[in-house]
Chains A and B, each alone.
Chain A
């Protein structure tokens, strides 16, 4: 599915990282639930709704999150960020970002090789607070 999104649909937000489901850079929402798109066969999503980071932006779902990431300087090289944003969106939506331990658990499947976790966690926490009820 990751290749279909990037090479056929031109949606390059989801990134190929480990391509083994371990890094979370390719996270998208499949029928609303976050999954690593590198592990899903394109043929398996026939009839499903796939929401990438581009879709979240287009539907106005990232108002707070994207500003929070910018304000906190949460982006270093940026490669992991689309995956973090999709996963953070789901975590806030599902009420898992209200305390730091819950948020860390929710983001356990996303790896940042720059090691920029403190600022990412700060950004998501700030977004969860400013959003209150919506990411």
Chain B
């Protein structure tokens, strides 16, 4: 689909995306543009409800303007000089946007006075069909200042921040990890209306969500092809940043995710939410992504009257969760009314949109969306589709044959693995020593691991963690009783089996939310044929630190962690 040229009218008669400039529009914008017609054309998507499904109004600034900005201001030297992120951001703020862009931005500032999201739309993302989720900056601006000049300035600052984030350290590392350089990247920018409603000084959607048509961490009865949905109250930042949110399988919307009891559920669901700060008083941080974001408490949301469709209440005397907020008690954001009541179309709409996006893309997809309900107590409102990303191309890279376990290069092999993708970032291995470890010492082993983890986290070195029995168990005799903070730097976790601590595959349930949020692979390696854990090779590596029950070694070149989420097969191998 061809984008119409922006004619200085943000509010056009139709909702099709518009463009400024003539270059590429990047992966994120392409995903949305491609799906716009499919969403409008598919009559099955929303036949029974009063929810309007659409792509929020948006204008895309094409990559030729990014090129002009970089070249006219001679920014490449600073951008590629590996100076700290804040210095890069400062350099970019001091530069001028291309003259052929500023008039158009001025017209947006003049016409629009509601919150805007300024998002990156990377060309590498488009070229490689590789999702760059969370790599580049997104800035929300309230855009509600009475003065047009101020709205213009904030919009300009946000665009410059998104441009600068192309060269931030995290983006550089990410590019490196996929065999590219930041200098290969060109950035388009999406200026999009924020879906939401203003409540006092907060502007936020009733529900934000990320849905994937394929689930690489299936739990319970769910199959990978059933997909997975994460929902949050307020802006989607909570989901993107890996904060506690609600995860469920769209085939079983009423099945809760694997929590270890109600106290775990209370701890691992949302206690606060993100909103655009509409207050006239905000700190001045043009180089910060969250300059205009504010966190609200659940009590704020209840005051805003945005909990009744999504929250339940903990009844302490009966130690039960009751749907809705009719009774007094701590609120639990489990979306039970929206997912469980027959009149709610929420899950049906998510499934339909996911199916349309999957069909249109011809492969598995991940979508981001935001929902606002109208003032009435029903479920009529607006479903805004914010992003569509194909995920299948990543799969096609991953082929793991059964004979891989026989390969001398493979260090770990299992057919009981959760996660998906390929990582080549691990050079460190932390493991529980099989020669000294006994289950009675598991608590000490956990403390040792916590110290090593802290050290590696400081150095920003992701690592492979190997231990025996269930990780995170509360019973020290059944595994290593760590909490997430003690292993938070692990990029891949191996749960091996030993005679003294034989246990079932834990499915990583103790850290399920963290693992899914941080894309951690989880290997269960029972002893027996078809599985492999080459401790002899690991023991031969350079020892960094040695403790009573644990050891930290380093390899010469990064290990490859490869997990095929379609069949739960995974391998860790060295070069």
Same complex for A and B? Answer no
Binding site for A on B (CB under 8 A): none
Binding site for B on A (CB under 8 A): none
